[in-house]
Amino acid sequence: MTHRILILGGTTEARQLAGKLAARASVTLSLAGRTESPVAQGVPVRTGGFGGADGLAAYLRKEHIDLLIDATHPYAAQISANAAQAARVAGVPILALRRPGWEPVEGDRWTLVDTSGDAAQALGRAPRRVFLALGRQEVAAFEAAPQHHYLIRSVDPVEPKLAVPDAVYLLARGPFHEAEERALLEKHRIDVVVSKNSGGAATYGKIAAARVLGIEVVMVRRPALPDVASAETVEQLAAMVDHFVRPTDERGV
């Protein structure tokens, strides 16, 4: 019996997990479609939304999915909530891959906020040179603080551009290493970095570079996520998945 697994992706770990599980199950990777040119995935890919929790539940039933894995970005709170609800409604087991967040260490100058709007306020009234490393979905909130100079980095173009008088746009895809990030911050004379607490190594370079340069980081806290069985690494989650995809003869059935 071939087990059918649906992975809700959008992270590097989701792609790695799909590749790891493809040899032992029929894996489909679902992407929201927010990135215009996603990295090649190596397994069948479904792009676009499901129509909320009800739509996802209907998909799970129609496609006879045996296991749902939420490997979305730590800030995709609505998708994670929909996934947990859909799994309950459809009676399908769910696991989550949740990389741990970064923790401040000696030398870090973090200001913690709950939303991008709060981050814009935390910049203060005096003009500053701000590096926005949030992704294009979040930057519109900074139109409320047009007095600052913004360096805005995203994988895809920010459209429409922000209604602020002074912004520079940079298209780039990680991973970003500390030495490169330090050079970028120095070149643009950045004095504050705005970031999500994404976790992982791929985008930590800017945090390490800010620490070395004594630059403040306005850090947007992670949202609350549903309480489902989870693992922090691809390897740990793959081991959990083994419970669901072992051949029946190995289960002693």
In three state form, how does the secondary structure of 24-66 look? CCEEEEEECCCCCCCCCCCCCEEECCCCHHHHHHHHHHHCCCC
> Is residue 74, in this structure, part of any structural domain at all?
yes
- pLDDT profile of the chain (253 residues), mean per 10: 88 89 92 61 84 96 96 92 97 96 97 97 98 91 98 93 96 93 98 95 95 98 95 95 63 39
Q: Can you spell out the DSSP letters for 137-205?
A: TTGGGGGG-TTSEEEEEESS--SSPPS-SSEEEEE--S---HHHHHHHHHHTT--EEEEE---SSTTTH
Q: Is 127 part of a structural domain of the chain? A: yes
**What distance lies between CA 160 and its chain's CA centroid?**
22
Domain that holds residue 86: 4-99+224-251
Tell whether 117 and 185 lie within a shared domain.
yes
- The number of domains in the chain is 2
- Our separate counts of H helices and E strands in the chain read 7, 12
Whether residues 35 and 11 fall in one domain? yes
Are residue 120 and residue 196 in the same domain, yes or no? yes
Residues 184 and 242 in one domain: no
Do residue 80 and residue 172 come from a single domain?
no
pLDDT per position as a tens digit, 177-204:
999 999 999 999 999 999 999 998 989 9
Residues 38 and 89 in one domain: yes
* Domain-embedded: residue 105: no
Give domain status of residue 104, yes or no.
no
Q: Are residues 167 and 216 in the same domain?
A: yes
Tens of pLDDT, residues 111-123: 999 999 999 999 9
Residues 24 and 57 in one domain: yes
Q: How far apart are CA 185 and CA 172, in angstroms?
A: 15
Q: What CATH number did the domain enclosing 95 receive? A: 3.40.50.720
Query: Residues 152, 136: one domain?
Result: yes
Q: Flag whether 47 is in a domain.
A: yes
pTM, 2 dp: 0.85
Of residues 26, 94, 19, the one with CA closest to residue 56 = 94
Q: Are residues 94 and 27 in the same domain?
A: yes
215 and 229 co-located in one domain: no
